[in-house]
Chains A and B, each alone.
Chain A
Amino acid sequence: MSVDYMPYVREEKLPHMWCPGCGIGVVMKSMIKAFEDLEWEPEDTAVISGIGCTSRLPGYMKVNTLHTTHGRAISFATGIKMHRSDKHVVVISGDGDASAIGGNHLIHAARRNIDLTVIVNNNHIYGMTGGQYSPTTPLGAKASTAPYGNLEPAFDLVKLLIGAGATFVARGHVGNGRQLASFIRKAFAHKGFSFVEVVSNCHTQFGRRNKMADPMNMVNWISDRAVSQKKWENMSAADQEKHFPVGVMFEDTEQAEYCERYEKLIAKLREEQPA
Chain B
Amino acid sequence: MSENGHGVKFWPGNIVVAEAAVAAGCNFFAGYPITPSSEIAHQMSLLLPRGGGHFVQMEDELGAMGAVIGASLAGAKALTATSGPGMSLKLENLGFGYMVEAPCVVVNVMRGGPSTGLPTHPSQSDLMQARWGTHGDHPTIALAPAFHQEIFLETIRAFNLAEQFRMPVILLIDEVLGHLSEGVVPPERDAYEIVERAHDSGEPDKFLPYDVTAGDIPPFRPYFDGATWHTTGLNHDETGFPTTDAKHIQQDMYRHYRKVLGNRDVIDKVEYYMADDAEIGIVSFGSTARAAMAAVKQAREQGVKVGLLRPVTVWPFPKDQVYEFGRDKKYLIVPEFNLGQMVYEVERAVHFDRPIKRVNKVGGVPIYPSEILAAIEEVA
Chain A residues in the interface with B (C-beta under 8 A) = 10, 13, 42-44, 46, 48, 58-59, 62-69, 71-80, 82-84, 87, 104-105, 107-108, 262, 265-266, 269-270, 273, 275
Contacts and interface: CB of A to CB of B under 8 A. Distances in A.
B50 A269 contact: yes
Given A66-B70, A69-B92, A108 B226 contact: no
A275 B50 CA distance: 8
B129 to A, nearest CB: 18
Interface in B309-342: none
Given A46-B223, A63-B228, A78 B50 contact: no
B241 A59 contact: yes
B228 to A, nearest CB: 5
A87 B224 contact: yes
A46 B222 CA distance: 11
Interface stretch (B73-81, B247-255, B291-299): B73-81
Give the residue among A83, A104, A108 with the most B Cβ atoms within 10 A: A83
Given A76-B70, A78-B67, A79-B67, A43 B241 contact: no
B93 A69 contact: yes
The A contact surface, by secondary structure, is helix
A64 B52 contact: no
B102 to A, nearest CB: 10
Contact of B223 (A84, A104, A265): A84
B71 A75 contact: no
Contacts of B75: 83-84
B182 to A, nearest CB: 28
25 contacts: A64-B223, A64-B228, A65-B228, A66-B100, A68-B96, A68-B233, A69-B66, A69-B92, A75-B58, A75-B63, A75-B93, A76-B69, A76-B70, A76-B73, A79-B70, A80-B73, A83-B27, A83-B54, A84-B223, A105-B63, A108-B58, A266-B49, A266-B52, A270-B52, A275-B51
B227 interface: yes
Interface residues of B, number: 47
Contacts of B161: none
A273 B227 CA distance: 36
B72 interface: yes
Contacts of B224: 43-44, 46, 64, 84, 87
Given A59-B241, A68-B96, A83 B59 contact: no
A64 B228 CA distance: 5
B233 A69 contact: yes
A108 B58 CA distance: 8
Contact of B67 (A71, A76, A266): A76
Given A46-B224, A75-B62, A83-B75, 6 more contacts: A46-B223, A76-B70, A78-B66, A80-B73, A83-B76, A262-B54
Nearest to B222: A84
B63 A67 contact: no
Contacts of B204: 43
Contacts of B68: 79
A13 B67 contact: no
Contact of A108 (B28, B59, B228): B59
B230 A58 contact: yes
Give the residue among A10, A46, A68 with the most B Cβ atoms within 10 A: A68
Contacts of A104: 59-60, 63
Contact of A72 (B78, B93, B227, B231): B93
A69 to B, nearest CB: 5
Contacts of A13: 241
B64 to A, nearest CB: 8
B234 interface: yes
B16 interface: no
A84 B74 contact: yes
Contacts of A107: 59
A225 B318 CA distance: 66
Interface string B86-98: 0000001100100
